[in-house]
Chains A and B, each alone.
Chain A
């Protein structure tokens, strides 16, 4: 099951609700819509993994018009049930609106176990939250008490780390010039108040699904699944700023697989790729959920450990090294094991990634000089 299927399914559920309401007033339109949704759902790869959903979609397609409404009810029920049980990545939605009625309504309808809802009532609060939290989507009112919402939109888009966040404008302003300006500034959609809530919910789900899909492709190294350097840099920037503010600990580790060149030379590049993938898998399993790692290049990995001093980071890396040593590889009827050397450095307030990486790299050099297969801090 793909982890981004929940929002896709949720969007289908919202669209079905809208179509169901239309069944009495405009039955032909509604019927065409419902069958179209069922057909598209049948083509979604994650639906293949859910037998009752698959069979009910098929029943919707096969049913005569007179039985369609009962099949839609059944399909909606199955969709809702799976929406509450599917695994999904946690997302953070920021509502920026000084109207408590609107904020309450949106919070009520957007909430789900996989969504954290934040509310900012001023531009200053909104920008502070965007800086401090990893926001997945923003709902932005234009009429804020301290600044025009368009200023907030422009400022969010100027930050590299938030370039891709979907921003949906909610405003009572009908002026096309305002709408055009918002789109030019980087808005993804514009909803006039009073908001048609089901439409908004569908757009939110679709945007979250798309951003998750695109994000996964853009942010990860295609071979190992580790973060690529660009996304690791964004993550480092975020945690370095947060740690500087909270005066907490942050450590950075550089890892290099020992004798990797000889693995490639002896067993071939396909086996070398397998070793890289296994290392990534071991890091994923061994590190804490709050730690992150990326592929720095070649056989080098970089690990960021928020909330860990050097001693804590050393323990975490030692766990990973112990686990990797146990992995047995087989090639040409020979078995072999691999290890890594690592250098760890604390991230000081104001350090750039290049500075922190250079400090950790110096320690890594020492680890290599000390005979490899060890961690130096």
Chain B
């Protein structure tokens, strides 16, 4: 086996922040490696420091101690170089679907017309055909998420962080979005760090699932998901092996709780 380059390398990271008069330790001595080009999930209970970890990954926040490096990106600040899709879709209600999707490119210095043109090229692949000139308020939840995802993926980052992108969708839309995302990722390989609190979702999508403990957050289990790709939702989530993996994750969670 060849040695895979590392996309993200987290060593002994701690982060404490003040919440009013309390100080909250979100992360303590966290270590994690994210291999390049893999689909990695981070799973954990609510408020386990998942979002804190993502903030560090995309450079919006700095650790109190420890280090975060992105060898595939080289030296320098991570801010502005790592793709990020926040939990809320944060679409701008005053921009059309095309213009919302183009926001990232525009920020990166791409001209408005050029950004629009490139956004329009992807409308079909993102299931947004015919909605180019619609406003976000006219879209369904699933479509809004696809616009937000297009906005992030259009920037063509090597590393993309997705923070519970399907958290607010109904189960059926959710399953089809998961399948869609896997297809897209298989065509356009990049490193994806996917945060969720849904164990099924994490297992179905990922190469590796990192399980986080309740606060202060540490990685308590890193599980290789050796289910062959391409994966079919109905087959995978009902298979015996899927359920074995799931039960080992649940056991680890149970020990911590």
A and B, one complex? Answer: no
Query: Which A residues are closer than 8 A to B by beta carbons?
Result: none
Query: Which B residues are closer than 8 A to A by beta carbons?
Result: none
